[in-house]
Amino acid sequence: MIEIRDQQLRLLFLTHLVRELQRSASENRPAPPGLDGAQLAELRALSTDDLVRLSEMQEPRVAVQIDAGSFEHGLRQVDYIGKRSRQIEHFIRHGATSTMLTRLFRISSTDVILKRRLFAGTHEKLRRPAMPPPAVREAIQKRWWEIRRGREVDPVRPEDYEALHAGYPSCTYATLWAVVHEFEK
């Protein structure tokens, strides 16, 4: 449990508590555990000045308890979102097409446009990709099948294209996409 000692934070918390108690009473929901009915009634009846005075006192002790499980989940989500943002930026900076971005990352074309504006210097890579010579195309397709071996029925992941791009860094993602999808209709 983390004790809140800052008066402004205590006032903010107590104000929020009063608001939630009023909402609970209007919706006939039970009050939070730890407070009895008389305390709840007194707290709801406090004036703003009384609430400020209460927040300035050391008693009652105001503390926050963090749910470890949901906190861990939140940390994983933040990590995932950060990783995904860095991946999208990498793909945009290395010439991924809008189609590629929307399919791999499930983002809207509007989001693609906004993200492209965010990363300066990507406009020169937006031209239609020139296909590499046939020998290079064959090598790219061979490497793609090696990356995807055993997972042909699974959805393609951005990491698959990152692995392909690592072997052909001079090619844009648009070129690699065009080569991989060359024979699809």
- State the pTM of this model: 0.69
Q: What are phi and psi of 163, to 5 degrees?
A: -65, -40
156-to-44, 45, 86, 115, 177 alpha-carbon distances in Å: 56, 60, 18, 22, 12
Q: Which helix (H) or strand (E) holds 3?
A: strand 2-3
Per-residue pLDDT of the chain (185 residues; tens, 9 = 90+): 888 999 999 999 988 888 888 887 777 777 677 777 788 888 888 888 998 999 999 888 888 888 999 999 999 999 999 999 999 999 998 989 888 999 999 999 899 888 888 876 555 556 677 789 999 999 999 999 999 998 878 889 999 999 999 999 999 999 999 999 887 76
> Would you state the pLDDT for residue 36?
74
